Structure 1
Amino acid sequence: PNLLGGVESGLALEIQAKDELSDAIDSNLILEASVINIKGNVGKNVILVAKEITIEGQIHPESYVYANKARITNHKGVCYAKEFECKYLERAKVYANSVKVEASAGSVVYAKEIALEKLKSDNKLYFSKQCWIDEVDGNGNRFIFYAFGGRENQEELKIAKQKLNALGLKSKKIIAQHQSLNHLVKNHQAIMEKLKNATEEIKRSLMQQESVKDAYSEFMFALKRLKILKAQMLELQKINNECYAKLISIENSFQHASVMTKNPFKQENIVIYHRNYPKVSNSTAML
């Protein structure tokens, strides 16, 4: 059963495996509390939510941690936190402000600041302020200067992408309606030209015909609707531009960041400056 106590409840959970061969939490469970302390491993499809989470053990690749502060011995899953500390990071994903790790292999980290004692191979480190590595003991690592490294900017980017996707869907619907109404206008253009050029007497006569009357009504409705759709498209474009302008502003404000290491890189690793807006671009240095 799930336990949803709430992060503001003051509830503290202490969970311990019954022996070394058993998981502290098996699988398919959601736990929510102010503090969660676990001694033992965490199984598959587990979601942990708290202000502070400590796991003295391993977390499954398909499990999630959401916390202000997270401390994990062996992290293989996905973690969203403000402060994250870990002994071993193994093919995991971390989204945080501050990340401190003893050793990492094959993992992806997004943060403002990253501090790693030993970096093994195939890691992707996205940071917006500083990346400090004591020792690079592997290859295929990517050190990526990225404005959306910290949690606040990660959230801004997530919200903006959701908004842009929604705007895109609305735009497609409006364009489809616009095309359909344009087709209707063109189909009735000949009749409308005939009415326009006719004398008043002939107009009255033509308007007695049901086909002409229907064509006139459809034509006028289409024109009014096209005017409304145009206004809607202009409003969507305005919101779209504001959204992009905010993202560009965040990236323009990203000016000071550094990657530092105590020792030289032993093998091939890559340093990248990545920019999403106004267009995706990478500047790469092979080290």
Structure 2
Amino acid sequence: MDFFSKKKLSILNWEKDLSTFSKSANINLHNCNIHINSARTFFTNDMPVPSGYFESEYETSDKEIYQKYEVEITPREYDFSAIDIKIDRNNLFATLILKEGLFIDSSEVYKMQFIDYVLAKLVEQNVILHNSKFLKATLVHILNDFGDLCVLTSTLNYEILRSKASYKQRGLLNLLEEAWVKKNNADSIDNALYAANEGEEVAIFFKDDEIINGRNLKGEFMNMQAIASRETTKETKEKEGAIYANPPSIDENIDKEETDRKIIYKAKSKGLVDFQDGLKVISIATFETVSNKTGSILGGLEKGIEVDVECSDNSKDAIQNGAIIEADVVNITGNVGENALIRSNNLNIKGQTHQSSTIYANEAFINIHKGTLYAKTEANVEYLELGRIFTQDANILQLNGGKVVAKRVVVSRLRNNCNIYFSESIHLKLIDGVENKLEFNIMANIDEKPHFLGLLAKDTLLKEHVKSRVNYCKVLITKAKKLRPVIETLKPLIAKSKAEASPLDPEVKKMLQYYAALLKQVHLQKDTAIKLQDERIQNANLASSIEGELLNASITTESSWRDNNEILLHRHFPTEVKSSILLEDSDMLDIELDKDYQILKVSPE
């Protein structure tokens, strides 16, 4: 962390003016927090826009505008390099990207600097700021959703700005698809079935093009008709001509409301909406197979949709290559194929999963698992063969060559070349293999991991801040010591000035003010360093308490051990430490940790 006094700057050309400032002040902008105090808007003739311009004329006027900024530059306390802003090619909407590994703190300073960073990134991409109050509220809401401090374990996307300019072409707009694409920051998927609640709007048929001209995020006036014409490919036109040129037919489970300009379609009952041959609602979601051809099933996780897939043909996968299922309850009889993706709350697979498949669930039961499973609460697997499980509670009948990361693990039969990471307990009923690694690791508690990573990140941050302030304090003290002899020689002049009530020489006065400012800054930095050190101690106590849960962790068995099975301990705080023991053929032994985190062999009673 660099230290320098607050700098105020007027900026017209953001990149150029900041670069000039950085060079002249010898300050690295990567270490700077840039707070925008104000953004003033002008027409290109340098006349300021009138009061109320953005509420009245902005969206309908095509006059070119630009902005000038008054900023304050101060030392940045946090690393925001894992934050990015993506703007679409027409500059109509902006997406905030929070990447895996970003440290999020709950402090007010973090929130302020987070907002400053995002606004600066937007201005860097020439976005016109005119509703900063709303944008700041949006960013605060995003941060508040995280609650306490944490480190992100996956990348998250948020749409934070959208222009009023838009275009809707004549034809059918799939509202469910539009919402899914926006939520997942993904491309649309051909032939997909979308979940809908009773009474939910599922589509709109526009009788004519619906064009709203206006400004994009960069303040450029957009002719949306021209953009619509340019971006409609021949393939899209052919598709619309064949399917969407006229209002689609509907089944008895679709209702419609018609106006002069459009027709709104609503689901009369909960189910999956099929858009391929008219609009119809599938109320009972039972399928022979799910594929990209029959249509992935999307958006059903939060809408209570239950999906049953029963494949009677053993030569086919029940969930085929690249297919996606998102549903509250998923029951599959058959195999899950290559690159398949399943998101559910309750999952039951009577079959096997391909090694490239990915599954998310709250609770899951799988016969034979070879892919990757993220189960929020519990995973029950009969045979884990080279697959991966991340969960709180893992119950496995036979484990062979797989990886398990869980708080608690029960294995009925442990075969060969398995890796188990746990934070509370492992119970092994039969040890029937070698080359297995069982590791005590608090990170195996997937619920606690983001918060624990946050504590580690904050410890590193506080350590650096304390060190920086102590070093800065030393620099200030050195400067003060060099000035002290000069101040001593000035004391007679100061005394004489007081006695005679005469003004001090301006240079002498300036010297005294500088010396007083140095001493004041020394005390300020010292007090701040002490406060930060106290905060670090509290943070360290929390981290130690969480990792201390490992002292109650254990490995218990109902079987004797085989040769070449390794027990490991991986500690992360206060420093990273790894230790291990190698087990030989032996009678039944339980494994625990003593108060000094040494691995102990314990004979069961």
Q: Does the CA contact (< 8 Å) of 1:164 and 1:243 recur in 2?
A: no
Cα deviation code 1:214-234 (max 9, x no counterpart) = 632541452243134213322
Q: 1:122 to 1:210 in 2, by over 3 A?
A: farther
Q: Does the CA contact (< 8 Å) of 2:416 and 2:435 recur in 1?
A: yes
Partner of 2:491: 199
Q: Does the CA contact (< 8 Å) of 1:26 and 1:42 recur in 2?
A: yes
Q: Does the CA contact (< 8 Å) of 2:393 and 2:407 recur in 1?
A: yes
Partner of 1:44: 339
Q: Please tell me whether residue 185 in structure 1 is matched to residue 483 in structure 2.
A: no
Cα deviation code 1:158-199 (max 9, x no counterpart) = 422222213312432443344234323313421134325642
Q: Please tell me whether residue 251 in structure 1 is matched to residue 550 in structure 2.
A: yes
Q: 1:82 to 1:70 in 2, by over 3 A?
A: farther
Q: Which moved more, 1:237-246 or 1:196-205?
A: 196-205
Q: 1:186 to 1:155 in 2, by over 3 A?
A: same
State the one-letter code of the partner of 1:185.
Answer: I
Q: 1:107 to 1:157 in 2, by over 3 A?
A: closer
In structure 1, C-alpha distance between the alignment counterparts of 2:358 and 2:338, rounded to whole Å: 7
State the one-letter code of the partner of 1:36.
Answer: V
Partner of 1:269: 564
State the one-letter code of the partner of 2:557.
Answer: V
In structure 2, C-alpha distance between the alignment counterparts of 1:202 and 1:264, rounded to whole Å: 85
Cα deviation code 1:85-122 (max 9, x no counterpart) = 224323332233131233422433434231233x3321
- 1:12 equivalent among 302, 306, 313: 306
Q: 1:216 to 1:113 in 2, by over 3 A?
A: same
Q: Does the CA contact (< 8 Å) of 2:299 and 2:326 recur in 1?
A: yes
Q: 1:14 to 1:170 in 2, by over 3 A?
A: farther
Q: 1:106 to 1:27 in 2, by over 3 A?
A: same
Partner of 1:53: 347
Q: Does the CA contact (< 8 Å) of 1:58 and 1:74 recur in 2?
A: yes
- 1:33 equivalent among 327, 332, 349: 327
Q: Give 1:15 deviation, angstroms.
A: 4.4
Q: Which entry has the higher C-alpha Rg, 1 or 2? A: 2
Aligned to 1:162, the other structure's residue is in SS state helix
In structure 2, C-alpha distance between the alignment counterparts of 1:222 and 1:239, rounded to whole Å: 26
Q: Give 1:250 deviation, angstroms.
A: 1.3
Q: Give 1:270 deviation, angstroms.
A: 1.8
In structure 2, C-alpha distance between the alignment counterparts of 1:183 and 1:28, rounded to whole Å: 62
Partner of 1:66: 361
What stretches of structure 1 of length at least 5 have no aligned partner?
Answer: none
Q: Does the CA contact (< 8 Å) of 1:76 and 1:92 recur in 2?
A: yes
Q: Give 1:258 deviation, angstroms.
A: 0.8
What stretches of structure 2 of length at least 5 have no aligned partner?
Answer: 1-188, 190-296, 498-503, 585-605
Q: Please tell me whether residue 219 in structure 1 is matched to residue 511 in structure 2.
A: no
Q: 1:79 to 1:59 in 2, by over 3 A?
A: farther
In structure 1, C-alpha distance between the alignment counterparts of 2:354 and 2:447, rounded to whole Å: 24
State the one-letter code of the partner of 1:113.
Answer: V
Q: Does the CA contact (< 8 Å) of 1:271 and 1:284 recur in 2?
A: yes
Q: Does the CA contact (< 8 Å) of 2:352 and 2:368 recur in 1?
A: yes
Q: Give 1:135 deviation, angstroms.
A: 5.5
In structure 2, C-alpha distance between the alignment counterparts of 1:281 and 1:140, rounded to whole Å: 18
Partner of 1:241: 540
Cα deviation code 1:1-55 (max 9, x no counterpart) = 4833345x322133467963557153385x5432123443243373x33321123
In structure 2, C-alpha distance between the alignment counterparts of 1:161 and 1:123, rounded to whole Å: 26
The two structures have a TM-score, normalised by structure 1, of: 0.75
The count of aligned residue pairs is 275
- 1:93 equivalent among 369, 388, 393: 388
In structure 1, C-alpha distance between the alignment counterparts of 2:517 and 2:340, rounded to whole Å: 56
- 2:416 equivalent among 121, 125, 140: 121
Q: 1:171 to 1:199 in 2, by over 3 A?
A: same
Q: Does the CA contact (< 8 Å) of 1:131 and 1:258 recur in 2?
A: yes
Aligned to 2:409, the other structure's residue is in SS state strand
Q: Please tell me whether residue 134 in structure 1 is matched to residue 425 in structure 2.
A: no
Partner of 1:171: 463
RMSD over aligned Cα atoms: 3.6
Aligned to 2:425, the other structure's residue is in SS state strand
Q: Does the CA contact (< 8 Å) of 1:43 and 1:63 recur in 2?
A: no
In structure 2, C-alpha distance between the alignment counterparts of 1:228 and 1:16, rounded to whole Å: 68
In structure 2, C-alpha distance between the alignment counterparts of 1:72 and 1:215, rounded to whole Å: 76
Q: 1:82 to 1:92 in 2, by over 3 A?
A: same
Aligned to 1:155, the other structure's residue is in SS state coil
Partner of 1:208: 507
The two structures have a TM-score, normalised by structure 2, of: 0.39
State the one-letter code of the partner of 1:208.
Answer: E
- 2:401 equivalent among 70, 85, 105: 105
Aligned to 1:83, the other structure's residue is in SS state strand
Q: Does the CA contact (< 8 Å) of 2:368 and 2:385 recur in 1?
A: no
Q: 1:148 to 1:177 in 2, by over 3 A?
A: closer
- 1:286 equivalent among 576, 583, 590: 583
Q: 1:237 to 1:71 in 2, by over 3 A?
A: same
In structure 1, C-alpha distance between the alignment counterparts of 2:472 and 2:578, rounded to whole Å: 38
Q: How does 1:73-88 map to 2 (within 5 A)?
A: 73-88=368-383
State the one-letter code of the partner of 1:284.
Answer: I
Partner of 2:558: 260
In structure 1, C-alpha distance between the alignment counterparts of 2:426 and 2:489, rounded to whole Å: 74
